[in-house]
Amino acid sequence: MAREVALAVDLGASGGRIVSGAFDGRLLELKELHRFENGPVSFGGHLVWDFVGLWSGVLDGLRVAADQHQKAIQSIGVDTWGVDFSFITKNDALLSEPVCYRDARTRGLIEAAQAIVSKEETFNATGLQFIEINTLYQLLALKRDRPELLDAADQLLMIPDLVHWLLSGQRSNERTIASTTQCFNPQSGQWANDLLTRFGLPTDLFRPVSEPGHDIGSIRADIASDTGLGDVRVVLPGSHDTASAVAAVPALEPPSSRPDWCYISLGTWALVGAELDRPLVTPECLARNFTNEGGVGGTTRLLKNLCGLWLVQQCRASWQRSGKNWDWEQLTALAAESKPLQTIIDSGHPSLVAPNDMPQAIRELAQQSNQPVPDSTGAVVRTALESVAADVSRTLQELDGLVGRRMSRVHIVGGGVQNKLLCQMISDASDRPVVAG
């Protein structure tokens, strides 16, 4: 067969990349074509995504792809992080820059929401973990602070839906990314309209969802002309990056109610879970704050969101501001040389969500818990990594209890697989073999 190429636009909280997958009928060759940075910026009193800059990075990558693969490119799809969104107006205009999930506007809204609808009722309707970054609480913040935006909006689009719309001109709501919102019912496969109504949110913003694999149309003519691409189809992947990552795990066992393996999607976040054949919406899941998110092929990803490499990313950013330009390999090497198991902090502590000085925030938590205060760059990084590994180990034990068996192996996917030290720490802390990839 003729060589066919598909393009993946993979956008994360700290960067984006364009990857080509070339298939000749026998072998699939993956190649990273372009990489660019991403991150929230302070604007108008809020932490927002530079969506224009993000889109510019995507276009640059598509030009590289067109130059390298000519007319062999057949399709393109986009995956991103979850929960964040913006709105489209009736005239097909972007209403506002997407606000970052780390913005402070949602603080205290879980408790406020539970005064309207109980925690149990919300969980039964959505099966989702309670964390303030969820789309539901972002919408409640808008209802409180910017109701005019809800009035002017015609449709809510999650971040990958927005990029698919920019590429094709066609609106869509893909199921796996919709499942991250706490506005979606994983058991019915539809938006939780009864719940949204009780919160006073307009249900007409939420349109029917599409499955991964759905072809929404060709890229726009102006995009094709600008980038040099031909008649490329826009095909929805598992638009939540974790859904696509888990679909790529090289596990032979099909999804079941009692799986033998689990996964960690390791990047800015550490998403620890198992792939099931159906949602698990039980009091035990609620008590342990687990979540049911959609997977590729109609599967369910039972998981918990934990802090991943965020601590080290923000430590590095803080050190860069002071003129110390450590790269990732240097920081990991310094951590490896530091004394092990001196200080373990709560990697999910609220003070670590968006501090101005992450190394200092880590030291303060160590001091508050009467543990040795890390006094060097390597010690700070080691504390961060070991704390993440400890949280992952505890979560794996909880996951074992929920599915009724001990997971025999852990597959780690995502950019974090490059940190061999953290992968080994997770294996040691959990006493399980780890497969990187």
What pLDDT, in 10s, does the model give residues 86-107? Answer: 999 999 999 999 999 999 999 9
Q: Is 350 exposed, middle or buried (0-12, 13-18, 19+ CB in 10 A)?
A: exposed
Helix (H) or strand (E) holding 305: strand 300-307
Residue pLDDT, tens place only, 318-367: 999 999 999 999 999 999 999 999 999 999 999 999 899 999 999 999 99
Domain count within the chain: 2
Average pLDDT of the segment spanning 176-189: 98
Domain co-membership, 21 together with 64: yes
Q: What is the pLDDT confidence band of residue 1, given thresholds at 50, 70 and 90?
A: low
The pLDDT, as a whole number, for residue 254 is: 77
Domain co-membership, 88 together with 211: yes
Domain extent, residue 363, equals: 242-437
Domain co-membership, 138 together with 257: no
Nearest CA to 205 among 158, 145, 137? 158
Amino acid at the residue 286: L
Domain co-membership, 201 together with 163: yes
pTM of the predicted model, to two decimals?
0.89
| Percent over 70 (pLDDT), the chain | 100
Domain co-membership, 317 together with 391: yes
Domain co-membership, 260 together with 230: no
Is there a catalytic annotation at residue 50? no
Domain co-membership, 228 together with 251: no
Helix (H) or strand (E) holding 312: helix 310-321
The DSSP result for 90-132, as a single string, is TTS-B-SPPBPTTSGGGTTHHHHHHTTS-HHHHHHHH-----T
Nearest CA to 120 among 280, 287, 290, 294? 287
Nearest CA to 126 among 141, 137, 112? 137
**Contact predicate 310/355, CB 8 Å:** no
Choose, from 241, 260, 375, 431, the residue flagged as catalytic: 241
Domain co-membership, 182 together with 260: no
Average pLDDT, the chain: 96
Using the predicted structure, report yes or no on whether residue 258 has a pLDDT greater than 90. Answer: no
- Domain of 282, CATH number, reads 3.30.420.40
